[in-house]
Amino acid sequence: MRMTMRTIALAGALLPCACGSGSTVFDLCTFRLESTEDFTVCGILLDDLDQLTVGQAAQVAAAWAQGDVPVGFTLDIGVRNPNDGITGPLLDLVQVTDLPWDLYLDADEGSGFDTTWVASGEILDPVEVPGDSETVIVPIEVEFDGLTVLEELGPVAFIELMIAVGGVDGDIRDSEHLGRMVLETEPSIDTPFGTMEYPEPVWVGLDWDD
């Protein structure tokens, strides 16, 4: 499935929503990718690396030959509740109760976003988000077999992608690094007025959706 970044941005746009039985209107919580932590490929920690050694590259090649290329990391998602009482109602606190997600990687360094699904999951516990536009971090634990991505890209491009999103520069907020990931989610947000409903799935990328 191939999408442009413009398509993703349009799909992720969050609109004001009237929720619950009343007529109260407020802004939906917004999301963005913040950073990665403890990024490992075949047991190699990439956090402080900008390239693999010959031995580490051989380790990945050996895993490829065995048909199992484990990738694991923590993806930090920023959540913001914009209802600070200045332009609309004040929601002192809301809760993200569900955050089912699908993670996609950009398997093509060229223009556009060539999505390859790699993992799905859900948060384990509700997350409280105050109504002061503070960024609350929701850590998501990601694990997947990178074999499909490796075979699609080849070993050199696969290692470059893993270094880009998980290495020493993996938290840089541009299209060549953290921007080569995108998360699709359909959150459930509990508020004093009831459950906050999103009109469509949210595509979480580099920037806030508001």
pLDDT tens by residue, 160-196: 999 999 999 988 989 899 999 999 999 999 988 788 7
Tokens standing for 63? 């895993």
pLDDT given for residue 187 in this prediction: 94
Is 50 exceeded by the pLDDT of residue 14? no
Which tokens go with 127? 């997350």
Mean pLDDT over each residue of the chain, to the nearest integer? 83
95, β-bridge pairs: 128, 190
Angle formed by the axes of helices 54-66 and 155-166, to 10°?
110
How crowded is residue 24: how many other Cβ atoms within 10 Å of its Cβ?
15
Of all residues in the chain, the percent with pLDDT exceeding 70 is: 80
Which of 81-85, 103-107, 135-139 is the most confident on average? 135-139
User: Does the pTM of the predicted model rise above 0.85?
Assistant: no
Q: How confident is the model at residue 156 (pLDDT cuts 50, 70, 90)?
A: very high
Residue 208 has pLDDT above 70, yes or no: yes
The H or E element that residue 125 is part of is: none
Domain layout of the chain by residue ranges: 2-13+32-204
How far apart, in whole angstroms, are the C-alpha atoms of residue 165 and residue 177?
Answer: 5
Helix (H, G, I), strand (E, B) or coil at 165: helix
